[in-house]
Amino acid sequence: MTRTVTLTIDGVETTVPEGTTILEAARMLEKEIPVICYHDATTANGLCRICVVDVNGGRLLQPACIAACQDGSKVETRNSRVERSRRTILEMLDSAVDLSEAPAIQDMMHEYSAVPERFPEAKRREFSILDDNPFYMRDYSQCVLCWRCVQVCADDAQYTFALTLGERGFHTHVATAYEIPMPDSPCVFCGQCIGVCPTGALKPKIEFGLQQGWSAEEIRQATRQPRRRKTSDEA
Ligand code: SF4
Ligand code: FES
């Protein structure tokens, strides 16, 4: 028999199977908790902390996407502590990352009254746009390091393992192993990374070209795989 736990979420008592996360339990009650690094298709790692909730007034807020429901807990999904924490996370993100093509995060900024100029001295994470294949572009200046692309490329879906993290600390960024060009990596250009990316960091090349005002011919040329010349042995 499945063991269950009973808790209250925003004053509503609910009973869920043991192991259910607070995020899942809240969704069953149709309560919205914001997420950035979490995606239904990928393993939750509790990286961004935008989903934090107050559990029993504890000293530390808990990330709802990975914290399991506990019997007898009282969870508040949105009180002043939670709001302040989410607002600060959004302001810090916005201070370092280009969020101009991240509409869901922009909506959160608005909802939590985040002030974009809160940290004017902050150093921004800036990277050159990577254009090394005919299928998609990578602009890691827009990357929030949610890991969704890395996970969906790995054992959450594609089992290709083309992506990893390069460098450490402030310079951490998504990369191929040894930063080799994407066509030289195990990437099969399935596009799943683009599908789960919550920002404009990963973009089909056609979409990029349309945004840049490229002509149909320019897009055609940019998205063609150059033909490989036959070697004399193959001729
Ligand atoms: S490229 Fe997109 S999906 Fe990948 S870590 Fe950055 S924001 Fe997340
Ligand atoms: S959504 Fe829970 S930590 Fe990112």
Identify which of 43, 145, 187 to mutate to test ligand 1's pocket (most ligand atoms within 8 A of the CB). Answer: 145
CATH number for the domain harbouring residue 168: 3.30.70.20
Look at residue 227 and tell me if it is in a domain.
Answer: no
pTM of the model: 0.91
Domain stops at, among 124, 156, 190: 124
CATH number for the domain harbouring residue 33: 3.10.20.740
Residues 195 and 86 in one domain: no
Tokens of 223: 């998205």
Residues 146 and 118 in one domain: no
- Say if CB 150 and CB 214 are below 8 A apart: no
Cα-to-centroid distance, 230 and ligand 2 (Å):
49
- Say if CB 14 and CB 7 are below 8 A apart: yes
Task: List average pLDDT for each run of 10 residues in the chain, which is 235 residues long.
Answer: 94 98 98 97 95 97 98 98 98 97 97 95 94 95 97 96 94 94 95 96 95 92 73 62
Domain stops at, among 77, 96, 124: 124
The pLDDT of residue 229 is 62
The pLDDT of residue 233 is 66
**Domain coverage including residue 86:** 1-124
Tokens of 177: 């192993």
How many angstroms separate the CA atoms of 24 and 70, rounded? 13
DSSP tag of 8: E
How many angstroms separate the CA atoms of 73 and 20, rounded? 13
| Contact 199 CB / ligand 1 (< 6 Å) | yes
| Contact 147 CB / ligand 1 (< 6 Å) | yes
Residues 119 and 179 in one domain: no
Cα-to-centroid distance, 147 and ligand 1 (Å):
6
Residues 40 and 74 in one domain: yes
Its sign, for the CA torsion 46, 49, 163, 208, is positive
| Contact 109 CB / ligand 1 (< 6 Å) | no
